[in-house]
Amino acid sequence: MLRFAHPDSLYLLLALPVLLALYIAAGSLAARARQRFASDALFRRMAEEHSGRKRTVKAFLVLLAYASLVIGLANPQVGVRMEEVKQEGLDLFIAIDVSKSMLAEDIKPNRLEKAKYEVRRLIDRLAGDRIGVIVFSGEAYTQFPLTIDYGAANLLLDVVNVESVPNPGTAIGSAVAQAMRSFDFEQSTSKVLVIMTDGENNAGDALEQARLAAEKGVRIYTVGFGSRQGAPIPLYDAEGRPSDFKRDRSGNVVLTKLDDASLQEIAAIGRGSYYQATNTQDELEAIYRDINALEKREFGVKKFTEFDDKFQYFLAFALALLLLETVLSDRKTHWLARYNPLRGLRGEGDGA
C-alpha cells in the first residue's frame, strides 16, 4: 500500500510545464540572438565544440531532479504490515439545550457558548471513549453519533446554535429518548448521558424517560445553566448586533430562570450528579473524573497499517541528478558522437 504523508506538496509538480516552457522560450530567444550575430555556418565554425544535445540533456536532468525533490517532499510511504489495537472505553452522549433561553448572559459569554466551551474541553481530555452530541429544544436531534474522531466532533460542535432545532421549548425527555435510540445496547460498554440545560419550561416526560434510561444501565448527569434570579434573553438584528430583549405580550422583559429542582431529580434517578454551571468552573471536568472511574470495556478492534518513509531515496536521486548536471560539460563528446545513429542526418554541427 502506497500513500503520501504530505500529498499537498505534489501540487508543485504543476510547475514542470511552466519550467519546460521557460526552457523552450529561452532556447528560442538564444537562437534569434545567434542569428543576428552570425549565420548558422559561421556559428558552427566558431562553436565547433558546442553540443546542442547536451544542453537539452542538462535541462532534462534539472527537470527530473525537480520532480524527484517534489516527490521526496510529499514523502511517499509504503505499508509494511497491519496491526490491530483493541479499543476500550465508554459511550458518552452530551445533550445540549439550544433553546433561545440559552442565549442569556448570566453565564459568560452566554449559557450556550459556555456549554460548548466545556464540551470542547472534555473532548480534549478523552482518550479512547466514544462521544456523541444531541441538540434539543422542543425536539431532540443527534448532532453527531458516537465517534472517536475527536477532530470531527469539534468541527460539528462549532456549528451548534439556537437555530439547530426549529421547535421552541426545552424538552429534556425528548433528549433522553433520543440518546436511548442512539446508544448501541448490543455492546456492553458503560453508557453515560450528560444533559446541559437551564431546565426551564420542561415539555414532555423527562422523569419517566430518565427512569427508563436508568433501567437500561445509562448513568445520567445534569448541568444547570443560569441563575435562580433570572436573566433577560437578548435579541439580535440581521447583522448579529444586540437589538432588544425578549418580551411578553404585555411588553415586559422576559426573565429566564434556572430550574434546578427537576435537574437534580433527573440526576438522582440516573444515579449521577447535578452540577450548577459557573463562570469560573469547568463542571464537565468533575463529571469526567467520575465517569473515568467507570469500567472501560472493549468495543472493537482498530486496524491500521504501519508505514515506512521512502523520501530519502527520491532526495538522493535528485541530488545525484543535480551533481551529474553540474559535471556534464557543454562540449561535444567525440567518442560518443561516433556511435550516434543520427550522426550526419541533422547537419554537421550536431553531436553528442
Residue-wise pLDDT for 146-191, tens only, equals 998 899 999 999 999 999 998 888 899 999 999 999 999 988 889 9
Containing 176, the helix (H) or strand (E) segment is helix 172-182
> Cα 79 from chain centroid?
23
Work out the burial of residue 351: count CB atoms within 10 Å of its CB; fewer than 13 is exposed, 13-18 middle, 19 or more buried. buried
Q: Order of strands across the sheet with 274-276?
A: 140-147, 130-136, 91-97, 191-197, 218-224, 274-276
| Mean pLDDT score across all residues of the chain | 84
Cis status of the peptide bond prior to 17, with omega within 30 of 0 = no
- Report, as an integer, the average pLDDT of 65-74: 94
Please give the domain boundaries of the chain with CATH numbers for all domains.
2-75+310-337 (no CATH), 86-302 (3.40.50.410)
Determine the Cα–Cα distance for residues 191 and 188; give it in Å rounded to an integer.
9
Reported as a pLDDT band with limits 50, 70 and 90, residue 345 is very low
What the block records as the C-alpha cell of 211 is: 427512569
pLDDT at position 43? 55
Determine the Cα–Cα distance for residues 63 and 319; give it in Å rounded to an integer.
12
Out of 118-127, 205-214, 328-337, least confident range: 328-337
- Confidence check: pLDDT of 349 > 50: no
- Report, as an integer, the average pLDDT of 15-31: 85
Reported as a pLDDT band with limits 50, 70 and 90, residue 102 is very high
Please give the sequence-ordered ranges of beta strands (E in DSSP) within 60-217, or none if there are none. Answer: 76-89, 91-97, 130-136, 140-147, 191-197
Q: What is the pLDDT of residues 302-326, one digit of tens each?
A: 555 567 888 999 999 999 999 988 8
Q: Which residue has the higher pLDDT, 254 or 1?
A: 254
Reported as a pLDDT band with limits 50, 70 and 90, residue 267 is very high
Question: What are the φ and ψ backbone dihedral angles of 107, each rounded to 5 degrees?
Answer: -115, 125
Determine the Cα–Cα distance for residues 345 and 352; give it in Å rounded to an integer.
13
Work out the burial of residue 80: count CB atoms within 10 Å of its CB; fewer than 13 is exposed, 13-18 middle, 19 or more buried. exposed
Out of 13-27, 128-142, 206-220, least confident range: 13-27
Report the percentage of the chain scoring pLDDT > 90. 47
What the block records as the C-alpha cell of 63 is: 527537470
Cα distances from 182 to residues 93, 134, 185, 197, 287, in angstroms, run 9, 9, 9, 20, 21
- Confidence check: pLDDT of 192 > 50: yes
Out of 50-64, 90-104, 338-352, least confident range: 338-352
Work out the burial of residue 228: count CB atoms within 10 Å of its CB; fewer than 13 is exposed, 13-18 middle, 19 or more buried. exposed
- Confidence check: pLDDT of 340 > 80: no
Reported as a pLDDT band with limits 50, 70 and 90, residue 301 is low
- Confidence check: pLDDT of 336 > 70: no
